[in-house]
Amino acid sequence: MGDYQVDRECRYPAYMSISDTIVASATAPGRGAISIIRLSGDNSLRIAEALAGKTFTPRLATFGKLISDGLLIDTGVWIYFKGPNSFTGEDVVEFQGHGGPVVIQTILRTIIAQGARLANPGEFSQRAFLNNRIDLTQAEAISDLINATSVSAVKAANQSLSGEFANRIHAIVADLIHLRTQIEAHIDFPDEDIDPQNLREFSDQLTNLHHHLQSLKLAANEGARLNRASDVVLIGEPNVGKSSLLNALANEPLAIVTNIPGTTRDLIRHDLLLDGIELRVTDTAGIRATEDVIETEGIQRARNAIETADIALCLFDERHHTITESLVNRLIGDTTSAAIGIIRTKNDIQSQPTINQTNYPLIEISAVSGSGLNQLKDWLLNELNLNSNAETPFLARERHVIQLAIALNYLHQAMSQPVNLETIDLLAEDLRLTQNALSEITGSFTSDDLLGSIFSTFCIGK
Amino acid sequence: MDYTRCFDVIVVGGGHAGSEAAHAAARMGCDTLLVTHSIETLGQMSCNPAIGGIGKSHLVREIDACDGLMAKITDHAGIQFRVLNQRKGPAVRATRAQADRVLYRQAMRHAIETTPHLTIFQQPVSDLTIEHDRVTGVVLAMGLELKAKTVVITAGTFLAGQIHIGMNQQSGGRAGDPASNELSKSLRDLPFRIARLKTGTPPRIDRRSVDLDSLPEQPGDFPTPYLSMMSQGTEHPTQIPCYLSRTTEKTRDIILQNLHLSPMYAGVIEGVGPRYCPSIEDKMVRFSDKPTHQVFLEPEGLTSFELYPNGVSTSLPYEIQFDIIRSMDGCSQAVITRPGYAIEYDYFDPRDLQATLESKLIENLYFAGQINGTTGYEEAGAQGLLAGANAALRAQGKDSWTVGRDEGYLGVMVDDLITLGTQEPYRMFTSRAEYRLALREDNADTRFTEKARSLGLVSDQRWKHFNDRQEQITQEMHRLKSTWIRPSDPTIEQLNSILTSPLSKETSAHDLLKRPEIHYHDLVERGEFLGHKDPSVSSQVEILVKYSGYIDRQTDEIKKLKKNEQVKLPTTIDYQSIVGLSNEVRQKLIDHRPETLAQASRISGVTPAAVSLLLVHLKKLDLMNMAS
Interface contact flag, B568 A146, Cβ < 8 Å: no
Interface contact flag, A126 B296, Cβ < 8 Å: no
Q: Is A184 on the interface with B (CB under 8 A)?
A: yes
Residue A258, SS3 per DSSP: coil
Q: Is the dihedral of CA A42, A48, A51, A52 positive or negative?
A: negative
Q: What is the pLDDT of residue A28?
A: 66
Q: Is the dihedral of CA A48, A51, A56, A60 positive or negative?
A: negative
Q: Between A424-442 and B535-565, two packed helices, what is the crossing angle to 10 degrees? A: 10
> Which CATH superfamily is B566-627 part of?
GidA associated domain, C-terminal subdomain (1.10.150.570)
Interface contact flag, B92 A425, Cβ < 8 Å: yes
Residue B494, SS3 per DSSP: helix
| Domain A14-147: which CATH number of 3.30.70.360, 3.40.50.1860, 3.30.1360.120, 3.90.198.10 | 3.30.1360.120
Interface contact flag, A424 B91, Cβ < 8 Å: no
| Best mutation target, A124, A147, A419, A427, to test chain B (most B CBs within 10 A) | A147
Return the residue of B nearest to A127 by Cα.
B616
Cβ neighbours of B313 in A, within 8 Å: 461
Interface contact flag, B623 A2, Cβ < 8 Å: no
- Residues in CB range of B555: below 8 A, 6 or more apart: none
Q: Is A438 exposed, middle or buried (0-12, 13-18, 19+ CB in 10 A)?
A: buried
Cβ neighbours of A140 in B, within 8 Å: 579
Report how far residue B180's alpha carbon sits from residue B120's, in angstroms, rounded to the nearest whole number. Answer: 19
| Best mutation target, A192, A391, A403, A426, to test chain B (most B CBs within 10 A) | A426
> Does residue A136 carry a pLDDT above 60?
yes
Q: What is the pLDDT of residue B177?
A: 63
Interface contact flag, A139 B623, Cβ < 8 Å: yes
Distances (CA, A) of B377 to B62, B493, B599: 14, 52, 26
CA B355 to chain centre: 16
User: Do A95 and A67 meet the contact criterion of CB atoms below 8 Å apart?
Assistant: no
Q: Calculate the average pLDDT of chain A.
A: 79
- A1 vs B434, B563, B625: nearest CB: B625
Q: What is the per-residue pLDDT across B226-243, written as a single tens digit (0 to 9) for each?
A: 999 999 888 999 999 999
Interface contact flag, A451 B604, Cβ < 8 Å: no
Answer yes or no: CATH 1.20.120.430 is held by domain A163-224+393-457.
yes
Q: Which DSSP letter does residue A122 get? A: T
Report how far residue B578's alpha carbon sits from residue B581's, in angstroms, rounded to the nearest whole number. Answer: 6
Q: What is the pLDDT of residue B620?
A: 85
Strand bridging mode A230-236 / A277-283: parallel
- Residues in CB range of B310: below 8 A, 6 or more apart: A462, B48, B202, B295, B296, B297, B298
Residue B364, SS3 per DSSP: coil
Q: What is the per-residue pLDDT across B346-366, written as a single tens digit (0 to 9) for each?
A: 899 999 999 999 999 999 999
| Closest-CA distance of chain A to residue B59, Å | 15
| Closest-CA distance of chain B to residue A118, Å | 14
Please, how many CA atoms are within 13 Å of residue A40, restricted to the half-sphere of its CB?
Answer: 25
Q: Which DSSP letter does residue B225 get? A: P
CB neighbour burial string for B393-429, b if at least 16 within 10 angstroms, e if fewer: bbbbeeebbbbbbbbbbbbbbbbbbbbbbbebbbbbb
Interface contact flag, A425 B621, Cβ < 8 Å: no
Interface contact flag, A143 B616, Cβ < 8 Å: yes
Q: Is the dihedral of CA B189, B192, B193, B198 positive or negative?
A: negative
- B283 vs A132, A426, A459: nearest CB: A459
Report how far residue B379's alpha carbon sits from residue A230's, in angstroms, rounded to the nearest whole number. Answer: 54
- Residues in CB range of B573: below 8 A, 6 or more apart: A2, B617
Q: What is the pLDDT of residue A16?
A: 42
Q: How confident is the model at residue A191 (pLDDT cuts 50, 70, 90)?
A: confident
User: Do B104 and B77 meet the contact criterion of CB atoms below 8 Å apart?
Assistant: yes
Report how far residue B69's alpha carbon sits from residue B63's, in angstroms, rounded to the nearest whole number. Answer: 7
Residue from B429, B431, B426 nearest B350 by CA: B426
Helices (H), B200-300: 249-257, 280-286
Which residues of chain B are modeled with pLDDT < 70?
Answer: 157-158, 173-181, 270-272
User: Do A132 and A114 meet the contact criterion of CB atoms below 8 Å apart?
Assistant: no
Where do the structural domains in chain A lie, given as residue ranges?
A: 14-147, 163-224+393-457, 230-386
- Residues in CB range of A76: below 8 A, 6 or more apart: A63, A64, A66, A95, A96, A97, A98
Element (H, E) at A221: helix A199-223
Cβ neighbours of A181 in B, within 8 Å: none
Residue B467, SS3 per DSSP: helix
Q: What is the pLDDT of residue A9?
A: 31
User: Do B245 and B307 meet the contact criterion of CB atoms below 8 Å apart?
Assistant: no
Q: Is A449 on the interface with B (CB under 8 A)?
A: no
Return the residue of B nearest to A130 by Cα.
B619
Task: Give φ, ψ of B83 to 5 degrees.
Answer: -100, 115
> Does residue A31 carry a pLDDT above 90?
no
Report how far residue B265's alpha carbon sits from residue B316's, in angstroms, rounded to the nearest whole number. Answer: 10
Residue B260, SS3 per DSSP: helix
* Total residue length of chain B: 628
Distances (CA, A) of A149 to A81, A120, A326: 25, 9, 28
Where do the structural domains in chain B lie, given as residue ranges?
A: 6-158+168-193+348-460, 204-344, 474-558, 566-627
Return the residue of A nearest to B86 by Cα.
A422
User: Do A2 and B571 meet the contact criterion of CB atoms below 8 Å apart?
Assistant: yes
Interface contact flag, A429 B437, Cβ < 8 Å: yes
- Residues in CB range of B545: below 8 A, 6 or more apart: B477, B480, B510, B513, B514
| Closest-CA distance of chain A to residue B109, Å | 29
Q: Is the dihedral of CA A417, A422, A423, A427 positive or negative?
A: positive
Q: What is the pLDDT of residue B202?
A: 94
Strand bridging mode A355-356 / A322-323: parallel
Interface contact flag, B434 A447, Cβ < 8 Å: yes
| Closest-CA distance of chain A to residue B275, Å | 6
Range 17-46 of A in CB contact (< 8 A) with B: 17-18, 20
Structure-derived torsion over alpha carbons of residues B280, B286, B288, B293, reported in degrees to the nearest 10: -40
Report how far residue B193's alpha carbon sits from residue B605's, in angstroms, rounded to the nearest whole number. Answer: 21
Cβ neighbours of B293 in A, within 8 Å: 193, 459
Tally Cβ neighbours within 10 Å of residue A193.
17
Quickly list DSSP for A46-57: HHHHHHHTS---
User: Do B345 and B159 meet the contact criterion of CB atoms below 8 Å apart?
Assistant: yes
| Closest-CA distance of chain B to residue A135, Å | 9
Which span out of A272-286, A347-361, B142-156 was modeled with the highest average pLDDT?
Answer: B142-156
Residue from B54, B66, B132, B118 nearest B92 by CA: B54
Q: Is A195 on the interface with B (CB under 8 A)?
A: no
Cβ neighbours of A447 in B, within 8 Å: 431-432, 434
Report how far residue B546's alpha carbon sits from residue A66's, in angstroms, rounded to the nearest whole number. Answer: 40
Q: What is the pLDDT of residue A372?
A: 87
Q: What is the pLDDT of residue A198?
A: 74
> Does residue A390 carry a pLDDT above 70?
no
Strand bridging mode A268-274 / B204-206: unpaired
Cβ neighbours of B626 in A, within 8 Å: 6, 8
Q: What is the pLDDT of residue B266?
A: 74
Q: How confident is the model at residue A462 (pLDDT cuts 50, 70, 90)?
A: low
Q: What is the pLDDT of residue A256?
A: 45
Quickly list DSSP for B39-89: GGGTT---S--EEE-TTHHHHHHHHHHTT-SHHHHHHHHEEEEEEETTTS-
Residue from A313, A301, A298, A309 nearest A336 by CA: A309
Q: How confident is the model at residue A252 (pLDDT cuts 50, 70, 90)?
A: low
Q: What is the pLDDT of residue B10?
A: 98
- B89 vs A15, A130, A425: nearest CB: A425
Question: ipTM score here?
Answer: 0.90
> Does residue A10 carry a pLDDT above 60?
no
Interface contact flag, A459 B436, Cβ < 8 Å: no
Report how far residue B514's alpha carbon sits from residue B543's, in angstroms, rounded to the nearest whole number. Answer: 10
Report how far residue B98's alpha carbon sits from residue B219's, in angstroms, rounded to the nearest whole number. Answer: 11
| Closest-CA distance of chain B to residue A80, Å | 26
Interface contact flag, A426 B550, Cβ < 8 Å: yes
Please, how many CA atoms are within 13 Å of residue A402, restricted to the half-sphere of its CB?
Answer: 20
- Provide CATH code, domain B474-558: 1.10.10.1800
> Which CATH superfamily is A230-386 part of?
P-loop containing nucleotide triphosphate hydrolases (3.40.50.300)
Quickly list DSSP for A140-185: HHHHHHHHHHHHHHHHHHHHHS-HHHHHHHHHHHHHHHHHHHHHHH
Interface contact flag, A1 B572, Cβ < 8 Å: yes
> In chain A, pLDDT over 70 holds for what percent of residues?
79
Distances (CA, A) of A400 to A158, A166, B230: 11, 11, 51
| Domain B204-344: which CATH number of 3.30.365.10, 3.20.190.10, 3.10.580.10, 2.40.30.260 | 2.40.30.260
| Closest-CA distance of chain A to residue B235, Å | 26
| Domain B6-158+168-193+348-460: which CATH number of 3.50.50.60, 3.40.50.1820, 1.20.1050.10, 3.40.50.1220 | 3.50.50.60
- B616 vs A142, A447, A462: nearest CB: A142
> Mean pLDDT, to the nearest integer, of A166-184?
93
Q: How confident is the model at residue A4 (pLDDT cuts 50, 70, 90)?
A: very low
Q: What is the pLDDT of residue A12?
A: 35
Q: What is the pLDDT of residue A277?
A: 61
Range 267-306 of B in CB contact (< 8 A) with A: 275-278, 282-283, 286-287, 290, 293-294, 296
Element (H, E) at B21: helix B16-27
Range 392-431 of A in CB contact (< 8 A) with B: 417, 421-426, 428-429
> Does residue A276 carry a pLDDT above 60?
no
Q: What angle do CA A162, A167, A171 make, to 5 degrees?
A: 145
Report how far residue B558's alpha carbon sits from residue B560's, in angstroms, rounded to the nearest whole number. Answer: 5
User: Do A230 and A272 meet the contact criterion of CB atoms below 8 Å apart?
Assistant: no
| Best mutation target, A4, A8, A455, to test chain B (most B CBs within 10 A) | A4
CB neighbour burial string for B52-69, b if at least 16 within 10 angstroms, e if fewer: bbbbbbbbbbbbbbbbbb
User: Do A438 and A401 meet the contact criterion of CB atoms below 8 Å apart?
Assistant: no
| Closest-CA distance of chain A to residue B626, Å | 8
Q: Is A22 exposed, middle or buried (0-12, 13-18, 19+ CB in 10 A)?
A: buried
- Residues in CB range of B512: below 8 A, 6 or more apart: B485, B503, B518, B523
Return the residue of A nearest to B284 by Cα.
A459
> In chain A, pLDDT over 90 holds for what percent of residues?
23
- B431 vs A153, A184, A192: nearest CB: A184
Q: Is A140 on the interface with B (CB under 8 A)?
A: yes
> Does residue A262 carry a pLDDT above 80?
no
